[in-house]
Amino acid sequence: MFKNIHLLYFTLLLIFFILVPTQSAPESAVITEIPGFSGTFPSKHYSGYVTIDEVHGKKLYYYFVESERNPSKDPVVLWLNGGPGCSSFDGFVYEHGPFNFEAGKPRGSLPTLHLNPYSWSKVSNILYLDSPAGVGLSYSGNKSDYITGDLKTASDSHTFLLKWFELYPEFLSNPFYIAGESYAGIYVPTLAYEVAKGIDAGTKPILKLKGYMVGNGVADDVIDGNALVPFVHGMGLISNELFEEVNADCQGNYYHPVSDNCENKLATVEKEIKDLNIYDILEPCYHDTQSKITLGNEKLPLSFRKLGETERPLRVRKRMFGRAWPLRAPVREGLVPTWPQLLSSESVPCIDDEVATSWLNDEAVRKAIHAENGNVIGNWELCTDKIRFYHDAGSMIKYHKNLTSRGYRALIYSGDHDMCVPFTGSEAWTKSVGYKTVDEWRPWHVKDQVAGYLQGYENDLIFLTIKGAGHTVPEYKPHEALEFYTRWLEGQKI
Ligand SMILES: *[C@@H]1O[C@H](CO)[C@@H](O)[C@H](O)[C@H]1NC(C)=O
Ligand SMILES: *[C@@H]1O[C@H](CO)[C@@H](O)[C@H](O)[C@H]1NC(C)=O
């Protein structure tokens, strides 16, 4: 058949490169079916563990959703939830994952999964990671690993990424982004910095980091700590008089109260807002497991409570988990108490994690998504108190300066009705980086409606608000979130 030996050689070579281009995604990681979902997967899903410390048996769990558009060209985005101690299944189940979860009946039974029309996998490959070990489905054989902090978490996640890309080398050429929310305002820049250093040092494999994204993220103790009072005043939650008094007594310094008068005024502020859902001041607060809903503030007229409603397949949670950043529990240098530690109880204000909890603690689900079962790693919890976590990286502003000045793009977005990490702090610290404004404060639109506001700075640093969204933006505004996400990743004007 082959008359020419060179042609034969060439053909064999061609076949070799077609069949064995590089090693590709591990077949054992493919998810073929998933309890609660009866449809066809719109793209490939993979999941499993990556061992980042063989001696300790430290294993980080990931769930990878391929893009439903063009997996070989679309960016790979790493997603991290915060806490510290919260699982990235928060993002997967409640925010921008491929499914919307409908609560099972009777309560606590397996939820029904529907396809999420606003999944971020519509336009990107997205990698959900439970980090650090001890959080979500990640664990270690040596419990000493559960004492950790910002810097160790960043270097562990970097190790994870290098090993993950070795398992999935076909994604090494895609643009790579790091994204997260809340306390991931610390995880994202510290990890991006590690990755950037690795790239500079020629650490293999070379990741194609392009930039990062932070939503309602913690950044700077002082600036974020001072952001609450102006926010609650601007939102009409405290009176002008109280605002003037607290301002006079604290001199704008709410983070380090300077006097007893200031302390007392801050206590009054706290009293005024304590019944609100801190993750979205317009949403009701979930009070107990009997699903009894009491409205955050009965005095608000119904029309006001309904403000900002948007199209979405399922309603948002009545309560949620995150980080009560400014509310008397600011993140400071040193030990950061997890939510359960902070309250010394299981009950966390305004949180409903029932759907995720019942799904992820089902043994058939665990098996389907290649997670260890409950006998080995215990119950999945949205946010755990298993870890002792130290904030040891200081202010994030130096990280943002370093990364953006070296050409990494940054999008800092805020749901503007979040009281946990209010936009007033993110707006102030992005300005404080000191860059020239290149896109003056202006509205941005979705379907001819104002979806929020943005201010663009040089070096591709953008601060963006999402009007009417709470702490977990894609949960409240899935359509708007997918819009800005898509435009930003594609480098279009938002
Ligand atoms: C866990 O790791 C620590 C630190 O490396 C080590 O000192 C300790 O012996 C280990 N414990 C076990 C049970 O292996
Ligand atoms: C950013 O950090 C790296 C690593 O520490 C350092 O080498 C570099 O000079 C810094 N760049 C800027 C612009 O600050």
Q: To test the ligand 1 pocket, which listed residue (56, 58, 143) has its Cβ within 8 A of the most ligand atoms?
A: 56
471 is catalytic: yes
Mean pLDDT of 390-408: 97
Smallest CA separation from ligand 1 atom 10, residue: 142
Distance 55 CA to ligand 1 centre (A): 9
Give the residues surrounding ligand 2 with Cβ less than 6 Å away.
Answer: 197, 402, 405-406
Distance 391 CA to ligand 2 centre (A): 21
Q: Is the pLDDT of residue 337 over 70?
A: no
Q: Residue 379 is encoded by which pair of tokens?
A: 């119950």
Mean pLDDT of 456-482: 97
- C-alpha span between 446 and 476 (Å, rounded): 15
Distance 61 CA to ligand 1 centre (A): 22
- C-alpha span between 381 and 360 (Å, rounded): 9
Q: Is the pLDDT of residue 324 over 50?
A: no
Ligand nearest to the CA of 142: 1
Q: How many residues does the chain have?
A: 494
Mean pLDDT of 166-181: 98
Q: Is the pLDDT of residue 144 over 60?
A: yes
Task: Report the candidate in 385, 382, 354, 379 with the shortest Cα–Cα distance to residue 366.
Answer: 379
Where b means 16+ CB within 10 Å and e means fewer, 141-180 reads eeeebbebbbebbbebbbbbbbebbebbeebeebbbbbbb
Catalytic residue among 47, 418, 426, 460: 418
Smallest CA separation from ligand 2 atom 10, residue: 402
Smallest CA separation from ligand 2 atom 8, residue: 402
Distance 81 CA to ligand 1 centre (A): 28
Give the helix, strand, coil percentages of the chain, each rounded to 5: 35, 20, 45
Q: Is the pLDDT of residue 385 over 90?
A: no
Peptide bond into 337 cis (omega under 30): no
Mean pLDDT of 259-287: 87
56 is catalytic: no
Mean pLDDT of 407-415: 98
Cα dist. 452→117, 311, 466, 471, 481 in Å? Answer: 21, 16, 4, 15, 11
Q: What percent of the chain has pLDDT over 90?
A: 72
Would you place residue 290 in the very low, low, confident or very high pLDDT band (cuts 50, 70, 90)? very low
Q: Which residue has the higher pLDDT, 419 or 346?
A: 419
Q: Residue 360 is encoded by which pair of tokens?
A: 């992820």
Would you place residue 298 in the very low, low, confident or very high pLDDT band (cuts 50, 70, 90)? very low
Per-residue pLDDT at 313:
58
Q: Is the pLDDT of residue 302 over 80?
A: no
Ligand nearest to the CA of 144: 1
Per-residue pLDDT at 300:
42
Q: So what CATH class is 27-220+392-489?
A: alpha beta
Per-residue pLDDT at 274:
84
- C-alpha span between 399 and 429 (Å, rounded): 12
Mean pLDDT of 346-369: 83
Per-residue pLDDT at 23:
59
239 is catalytic: no
Q: Is the pLDDT of residue 426 over 90?
A: yes
Distance 402 CA to ligand 2 centre (A): 6
Mean pLDDT of 432-456: 98
Per-residue pLDDT at 10:
57
Q: Is the pLDDT of residue 15 over 60?
A: no
Per-residue pLDDT at 317:
53
Q: Which range (290-299, 302-311, 412-421) has the least confidence?
A: 290-299
Catalytic residue among 182, 358, 414, 426: 182
Per-domain boundaries in the chain: 27-220+392-489, 223-352
Mean pLDDT of 464-476: 95
Q: Is the pLDDT of residue 457 over 90?
A: yes
Smallest CA separation from ligand 1 atom 1, residue: 142
Distance 192 CA to ligand 2 centre (A): 12
Q: Is the pLDDT of residue 195 over 50?
A: yes
Q: Is the pLDDT of residue 312 over 70?
A: no
Per-residue pLDDT at 283:
85
Mean pLDDT rounded to a whole number for the chain: 87
Q: Is the pLDDT of residue 343 over 90?
A: no
Q: Is the pLDDT of residue 219 over 60?
A: yes
Would you place residue 472 in the very low, low, confident or very high pLDDT band (cuts 50, 70, 90)? very high
Smallest CA separation from ligand 1 atom 3, residue: 144
Instruction: State pLDDT tens for residues 247-256.
Output: 999 998 888 8
